[in-house]
Amino acid sequence: MQSGPAKAEAPPSSSRGATREQVDSAVRSGLLTGRFIPGKAVTIRGLAAELGVSPMPVREVLQRLAAENALEVKPNGRVQVPDMTPSRFDEVLKARQLLEPELAELALPKLSKADAATLKAIDDDIDARLISGDAEAYMRLNHAFHFHIYRASRSEVLLPLIDSLWLQFAPFMRTVYGRVGTASLEDRHKEAIRAIEQSDAAGLRAAISADISDGMGLLGKEILSDT
């Protein structure tokens, strides 16, 4: 007896999981480097086509990021980065000030001289990008600098919270850098590296706190006050 046409086998779950992780990585990277603009909507199908995948993993990733308040789903099904308001900005800034110095101190005992050397190399690259005006590269490297420190903590609670905060403020800051440029930006990375080299917990906390205030804090408040 002749059997009918064979049914196509479903892709293995590990393959679907890999695709979802690839989409998640691409979208998070886009948020962190400012490729997604606050208030500008994207469609699931459009983003899927851009990434060369089916809509399903894109939908799953966007729903997850909406739950983290990094994106919002509109009634018409379109997805966008939420507009930044002064009150939302103040809350994100306050949360960063509370959590990031704490996590940096938690990471300090696990950071070595090799880590300090890696951070110095990243910071040297940041300085070059600030001069050249490459805002997207600056944002990518600034994230790499901070999270090289934070991931050393191996925190299962604070690290995901801080990751979510960065996803919420990064698209707005990209628009800020587009308006003011990068040449005038200052950071406290060198102070943070010196504190790591000296195992100075108070110095590291102060450097991270000042970096947040002098970077996101001053520029963001200035732009929001002009709108």
CATH number of the domain encompassing residue 161: 1.20.120.530
pLDDT computed for residue 6 by the predictor: 43
- Average confidence score pLDDT of the chain: 87
Q: Which of 65, 80, 95 is the last residue in one of the domains?
A: 80
Q: Is pLDDT above 60 for 116?
A: yes
Residue type at 30? Answer: G
pLDDT band at 215 (very low <50, low <70, confident <90, very high): confident
The answer on 95 and 173 residing in a single domain is yes
CA 106-162-31 angle, to 5 degrees, is 145
Q: Is pLDDT above 80 for 163?
A: yes
pLDDT computed for residue 16 by the predictor: 54
pLDDT computed for residue 5 by the predictor: 43
Assess if residue 191 is contained within a domain.
Answer: yes
The answer on 218 and 110 residing in a single domain is yes
Give the residue-averaged pLDDT of 50-59: 90
pLDDT computed for residue 9 by the predictor: 45
Q: Is pLDDT above 80 for 184?
A: no
Assess if residue 71 is contained within a domain.
Answer: yes
pTM of the predicted structure, to 2 decimals: 0.84
What the block records as the tokens of 111 is: 């950071």
pLDDT band at 78 (very low <50, low <70, confident <90, very high): confident
pLDDT band at 7 (very low <50, low <70, confident <90, very high): very low
Give the residue-averaged pLDDT of 171-194: 86
HEC letters along the chain: CCCCCCCCCCCCHHHHHHHHHHHHHHHHHHHHCCCCCECCEECHHHHHHHHCCCHHHHHHHHHHHHHCCCCEECCCCCEEECCCCHHHHHHHHHHHHHHHHHHHHHHHHHCCHHHHHHHHHHHHHHHHHHHHCCHHHHHHHHHHHHHHHHHCCCCCCHHHHHHHHHHHHHHHHHHHHHHHCCCCCCCCHHHHHHHHHCCCHHHHHHHHHHHHHHHHHHHHHHHHHHC
pLDDT computed for residue 18 by the predictor: 67
Asked whether the beta carbons of 28 and 167 are under 8 A apart, the reply is yes
Residue type at 209? Answer: S
Q: Which domain holds residue 75?
A: 14-80
Distances (CA, A) of 65 to 14, 36, 39, 164: 21, 13, 16, 9
Assess if residue 136 is contained within a domain.
Answer: yes
Return all residues near 217 (Cβ < 8 A) that are at least 6 apart.
93
pLDDT band at 122 (very low <50, low <70, confident <90, very high): very high
Assess if residue 147 is contained within a domain.
Answer: yes
